[in-house]
A and B are shown apart, each in its own frame.
Chain A
Amino acid sequence: MSLLEIENLSLSIGTVPVLNGIDLSVRQGEIMALVGESGSGKSMTALTVMQLLPHAARTSGRVLFDGNDLATASEEHMCTLRGDDIGMVFQEPMTALNPLKTIGEQVAEGIRWHTRSSRAEAEDRTRRILDRVGLPEAKFPLSRYPHELSGGQRQRVVIAIACALKPRLLIADEPTTALDVVLQAQVLDLLRDLVAENRMGLLLISHDLAVVADMADRITILRNGRVMEDGETAQVLSAQTHPYTRQLAQASAHVPEIRAAAAARNTRKPEDPDSPLLSVRNLTRDYPGRRLSLFRRGTPTRAVDDVSFSIAPGRSVALVGRSGCGKSTLARMVLALDRPTAGEIRFRGETLTGRREAELKPARRDMQVVFQDPYGSFNPRQKVGKLVTEPLHLLEKAPTRAERREMAAAALAEVGLGPDALDKYPHEFSGGQRQRLSIARAIITRPQLVVADEPVSALDVSIRAQILDLFAELNARLGIAYLFITHDLTVARAITDEVMVMKEGRIVERGRTHEVLDNPQSDAAQELVSAAPDLKRALAGRLREQG
């Protein structure tokens, strides 16, 4: 019999249906992946098992854990199960821990509550489990507070809380989405080992097929609250019989057609061109150290360390690296939004460093930006017509109202939106459409360079594929050069000619995208490539295992 058996589960919040007749099971010692795009209802499924749903939620159907129906269980009974027989790991490690309690207290709390053990016993167990998840007491004493740990370390604490009492079922809701690829690989390894050691069942919730292909024994694909397909992972993902499965798989390894064709012809070496569009020389950025007392500061942190590179007109260059490696700081300096401590940035042969805002206008006109968050990159109180035309402020001669509207409509047409969008507010658009608006704003002044900071990492895979197509098309048609900042190597592979690998403020490797990613030389690049989840590689591995 299965450890967890969900039968015909439906759920609505208020009047909004979320789940519609879900069936799902997890056996002991098995990893079951629940995959879907945002809004598919995967997190709500997890919260139903935990019985931690919002107040307005109404469910029907059965959730059998060990034969007992949790949907009708009392709160007292659930309290004895949660944290003891069922553990849960959440997506956002930065907010999942109580900032006012030490990590020791937070892990020990559940142990003491469930086992009624003494403080000393509980602390002993806490020490052991923290050591097991990779936080040995010598380096991470129990008296540490969450803010003294990094995101990856905090996620280990959350895993320790969930696994402290060796639960039979572990639910992990996007446990690595907020972490960079290297940390992701480490945390996934840890989860896999813990599952094997304790013969736990793991319900792994993820949007990432590559992660799932590598981890899960079986897989359930969810869309709009319905199960599309389920079965053995290798079988489901290699056969791709269901059209939605196929769509997901293709989107997650999508390469725009224009680029696929161009990549075959592209043999240019990324030598520094004679007349680069952008050239960066010995760029350094220090942030002042933490204030230790009224008069003393700690040593400054060097976010960007002696970086030099150049970008030729029309080239698409990726900047990849782990989180905190300095790539966003570098991008901001290129955009003249942050002042370098030392070094020089030249754009079209003119230096940008040390210029006053008024003198930067012509450069800004030809250099625009697209951000990651399609929700945060617009003023929610402005209509599209106004926000898309914001960069027109940079023109020498202010255009008339009619001209502005015309230019805005043209820019919207470039990104595949109609002129009816002009009078709407940003919240009336979906995430993908908003990213199109963001791109329309960036290209309205016909810039020669667009700096894009993680422009697709907040999007679902199918939307991401469309936006990547759009980027590729604008590059081919308008000759816009890109500096593409991303942590996702598949994105770099999909639309860039060259790649630069950054580590601890320095650029450690640079070359043609395919060459670097297929045959990385530096440690940093090798680490990134081997940690990056890859659907094809994972599937091949699985099929090999099964013979």
Chain B
Amino acid sequence: MRALANRPLVAGCLITGLVALMALASFLWTPYDVTKLVVADRTQAPSFTHWFGTDHFGRDIASMIMVGARNSIAVALVAVGIGMGIGVPLGLFAAARGGLLDEALMRLNDLVFAFPALLSAIMITAIFGPGAINAIIAIGIFNVPVFARVARAGALSVWPREFILAARAAGKGQTLITVEHILPNIANQLLVQGTIQFALGILAEAGLSYLGLGAQPPMPSWGRMLFDAQTRMTIAPWMALFPGMAIVITVLGLNLLGDGIADLLDPKSRRRR
């Protein structure tokens, strides 16, 4: 019941669900084939036949947005997976051990933080060439210290609590305490951070594809579509409008979801309305 009264959560779930559904549906059906170029239909304004219009190759923008969602979601999701998979254990380990090891891991974190995601993506691309995989790696690497910090800070706030002392008095070691007591108590924070990084990943992927460093044609991607639209703003503004809105709505949905989860799980953070 409390979940239903939580408007950000409901809105976030709905939007995120719809975008995910759209991406999945694109595997089965799209209004038009995005790989087929129909030069006769190029730069058509939105109409009943092409809801969001067509691009300079005559491809249906609505269909491209559907297929592009796959790429955005896949890149951002895998990048979050990389960040969580490496960052969370590192953060938990640093918090459990403390001392020099903690200090060393945190310095390593500082180091990665010194390379903004776009910059590391550019470096990686400069060497290995552009592509979706490199975008994933670059965004993923940037996610690692984010999750490591959240996990460490969360764990450090749980460790001094009395139930941890009780668990130690029950002879439980660091690993067991971390798994049984620390992790469940910071899972919320990790989940919330996960949705935030997911949203940031979508934005970063769009930026990389816009620069031509992400997914390569003919695979449609939202960022690439905006790049193509840029030089045609005067003749076909819809080419820029709809992919951009797709990004905004997806990111908005994820952020609302994150806020909703935070509100639901942590009564202290709930903003009284």
Which residues of A does B touch, CB under 8 Å? Answer: 55-56, 332, 335, 337, 357, 360-361, 364-365, 367-369, 371-373, 376-382, 387, 390-391, 393-394, 438, 441
Contacts and interface: CB of A to CB of B under 8 A. Distances in A.
B257 to A, nearest CB: 21
B179 to A, nearest CB: 12
Interface stretch (B7-15, B94-102, B128-136, B167-175): B167-175
Contacts of A55: 272
A379 B182 CA distance: 9
A376 B159 CA distance: 12
Nearest to B184: A381
Contact of A56 (B180, B181, B272): B272
B169 A368 contact: yes
Given A360-B171, A394-B170, A379 B165 contact: no
Nearest to B181: A379
27 contacts: A55-B272, A335-B169, A337-B165, A337-B169, A357-B171, A360-B171, A361-B171, A364-B171, A368-B169, A369-B165, A369-B166, A369-B169, A372-B162, A373-B162, A376-B161, A377-B163, A379-B163, A379-B180, A379-B181, A381-B185, A382-B180, A390-B166, A390-B172, A393-B171, A393-B172, A394-B170, A438-B166
Given A379-B184, A381-B184, A371 B162 contact: yes
Contacts of A361: 171
Given A367-B169, A371-B166, 13 more contacts: A337-B169, A364-B169, A368-B169, A369-B165, A371-B162, A376-B161, A377-B163, A377-B166, A378-B163, A391-B169, A391-B171, A393-B171, A394-B171
A361 B170 CA distance: 8
B162 A393 contact: no
A493 B173 CA distance: 37
B170 A379 contact: no
Contacts of A438: 166
Contact of A390 (B162, B167, B185, B272): B167
Interface of B: 161-163, 165-173, 176, 180-181, 184-185, 272
Main secondary structure on B side of the interface with A: helix
Nearest to B165: A337
A16 to B, nearest CB: 14
Given A377-B162, A379-B163, A380-B185, A357 B170 contact: no
Given A56-B272, A379-B163, A379-B185, A357 B169 contact: no
A337 B181 CA distance: 17
A267 B123 CA distance: 82
A37 to B, nearest CB: 23
Name the residue among B170, B181, B185, B272 with the largest chain A CB count within 10 angstroms. Answer: B170
B185 A441 contact: no
B163 A364 contact: no
A465 B20 CA distance: 58
A497 B173 CA distance: 35
A382 B184 CA distance: 9
A368 B172 CA distance: 13
Contacts of A360: 171
A142 B181 CA distance: 45
Contacts of B171: 357, 360-361, 364-365, 391, 393-394
A369 B272 CA distance: 39
A367 B171 CA distance: 11
A371 B184 CA distance: 22
Contacts of A369: 165-166, 169
Nearest to A377: B162
Contacts of A393: 170-172, 176
Given A337-B168, A377-B162, A357 B173 contact: yes
Contacts of A378: 163
Contacts of A441: 166
A390 B170 contact: yes
Contacts of B181: 379
B6 to A, nearest CB: 17
Given A379-B185, A380-B185, A381-B185, A364 B162 contact: no
B172 to A, nearest CB: 6
B173 to A, nearest CB: 6
Contacts of A364: 169-171
A391 B170 CA distance: 4
